[in-house]
Amino acid sequence: MKKLLSTSLTIVAVLLAAVSFLPPAAAQAETIKVGAILAVTGPASFLGGPEARTLEMLVEEVNAKGGIDGNKVELIIKDSGASPEKAISFAKQLIEEEKVFAIIGPSTSGETMKIKNIAEEGKTILLSCAAAQVIVNPVAKYVFKTPQKDSDAVRKIYGAMKDKGISKIAVLAGNTGFGKAGKGQLAEIAPEYGIEIVEAEVYDKKATDLSAVVAKLMANKEIEAVVNWSIVPAQGILAKNMRQAGWEVPLYQSHGFGNIKYVKAGGAAAEGIIFPAGRLLAPELLEDGHPQKALLLEYTEAYEGKYNEPVSTFGGHAYDAFKILSAAISKVGPDAEKARTAIENLKNFPGTGGVFNFSPADHNGLDIDAFAMWTVKDGQFVPYKQ
């Protein structure tokens, strides 16, 4: 009797499952083409690599579940190698020939600015994974971005400095678009916090030794802290050169430090570095019930399980872009115009970068709370406490 009951229950369960897997007959299922222009190889491959892998994983996942509301997703990844010229021709190709529903990327700010107008004229949604504020300011109707604002990162750092009573600092930046934009923001916002930049230096993105410049800065006894703004290995080299020279002032880095590889490369010298970043770095430390906790854990587990490498905040930007697009499509169906409006009206949407609140005037949707301050302890990222 008991066996009969369990068998029949199983059959019912299987039937129910089969029914629920049938696509709803009313909805017209179609394939949604999503283009992605990412710097998978070349100098920005540490951005584009994880972004491309994240998108591939997500699309596979969605299609295995039958697509977004029954609409399968076709992902077309174009490797721009961080070259703006290639990004332009890929954008035209994706919009005019492939007639994609939306484009995710590019990985870098320079490329995004080059194709901003192309997306706008082609009336195609562009979800950039690049950081610079100019991408969404002024707002373009079809252009969105998922990484946090660099001005907020600067404010977060200056806030932490003020709490510590630091007022005279040195600024170092790499000669990339990211470094230049950050250096500009640092100079512009410093007076708001009563901070004075006494020395500022720019180094080449390929720099392999900064001991000479460290010696120069160290001779200036006024400097109470150093801020470094770059996305290149020099982040770790600077830390090593400072500590080897016996210079013990606090070192602050930009949100570009959010990759555990740099901590490993910096070794003992990376200890005590303070920087702002999203909460993806250590989701297990978030309090239960935090809106981002579940999805951060899920993404980390899926990505690390599949690719056997640690997640980085950069892959997270592509994750957010894809999830935002899927949310909009599942709300209004596969209609690009309606989806664009749906993204603009998306509120309280948790992603890896923070909780997004878009509006017609704000195509980034993140505020300063998207950042938390982190530090390095025993080779791990841990939340920074005064």
Report d(CA 167, CA 226) in Å as an integer. 11
User: Closest separation between CB of residue 268 and other proteins, Å?
Assistant: 4
User: Closest separation between CB of residue 65 and other proteins, Å?
Assistant: 30
Helix pair angle (313-332, 45-64), 10° resolution: 40
Read off the tokens for 120: 């706008």
Which residues of the shown chain bind other proteins in the complex (CB under 8 A)? 41, 43, 45-46, 49, 175, 201-204, 206-213, 215-216, 219, 233, 236-237, 239-240, 243-246, 261-262, 265-270
Q: What burial letters (b/e) apply to 122-153, b meaning 16+ CB within 10 Å?
A: bebbbbbbbbbeebbeeeeebbbbbbbbbbbb
Q: Is the peptide bond before 138 cis (omega within 30 degrees of 0)?
A: yes
Identity of the residue, 81 or 84, whose beta carbon is nearer to other proteins in the bound complex: 81
User: Closest separation between CB of residue 67 and other proteins, Å?
Assistant: 32
Identity of the residue, 234 or 336, whose beta carbon is nearer to other proteins in the bound complex: 234
Identity of the residue, 159 or 310, whose beta carbon is nearer to other proteins in the bound complex: 310
Q: Bridge partners of 128? A: 145
Identity of the residue, 265 or 332, whose beta carbon is nearer to other proteins in the bound complex: 265
Identity of the residue, 119 or 238, whose beta carbon is nearer to other proteins in the bound complex: 238
User: Closest separation between CB of residue 326 and other proteins, Å?
Assistant: 28
User: Closest separation between CB of residue 37 and other proteins, Å?
Assistant: 17
Identity of the residue, 185 or 235, whose beta carbon is nearer to other proteins in the bound complex: 235
User: Closest separation between CB of residue 236 and other proteins, Å?
Assistant: 7
Q: What burial letters (b/e) apply to 53-76, b meaning 16+ CB within 10 Å?
A: bbbbbbbeebbeeebbebbebebe
CA 167 to mean position of chain CA atoms: 30
